[in-house]
Structure 1
């Protein structure tokens, strides 16, 4: 597990917050792809199901959109 993650809090929420911070600071600008399930799983050393939960949460928050076969992309800020 990634050393920056706190085992006392839900891991998927921590990863979602990290990706949200990257969106907010422009690391992932509007329209750009965010990491895939495989990329998140590899970077944070978590199961694919955890990575999928992260992307599902970000989508439900309106931060990203998914396009089948293409990936997930940052939504423009409104």
Structure 2
């Protein structure tokens, strides 16, 4: 849930919501996230705020953006697969 009056920046709150959905399988690896417009409508946030949230998730390696196709959940390496 996004708290508009909360202390945490809105883009970080949205990123946390999307991160939780990725972790719980709502958005499984390889699936397309809702469009920026859909996320704006769902969250009540601006286009810029949604883009900042997606950029944060990209920096974390959780999602990948493809121009003209959307944002997709990145494949996750199984835990304990480090060499």
TM-score, with length taken from structure 1: 0.90
Partner of 2:29: 30
For 2:59 and 2:2, locate their aligned partners in 1 and report how far apart those are by CA, in whole Å.
23
Partner of 2:80: none
Partner of 2:50: 51
For 1:30 and 1:55, locate their aligned partners in 2 and report how far apart those are by CA, in whole Å.
15
What is the RMSD of the two structures over their aligned residues, measured on CA atoms?
A: 0.9
For 1:30 and 1:45, locate their aligned partners in 2 and report how far apart those are by CA, in whole Å.
26
Gaps of at least 5 residues in structure 2 are 78-83
The alpha-carbon deviation at position 5 of structure 1 amounts to: 2.0
Q: Is the deviation greater in 5-14 or in 42-51?
A: 5-14
Gaps of at least 5 residues in structure 1 are none
Deviations 1:23-43 (A, max 9, x none): 000000000001221111110
For 2:9 and 2:64, locate their aligned partners in 1 and report how far apart those are by CA, in whole Å.
23
| Number of equivalences | 75
Q: Which runs of 4+ in 1 moved over 3 A?
A: none
The answer to whether structure 1 residue 63 and structure 2 residue 62 are counterparts is yes
Q: Give 3-state SS (helix, strand or coil) of 1:28's partner.
A: coil
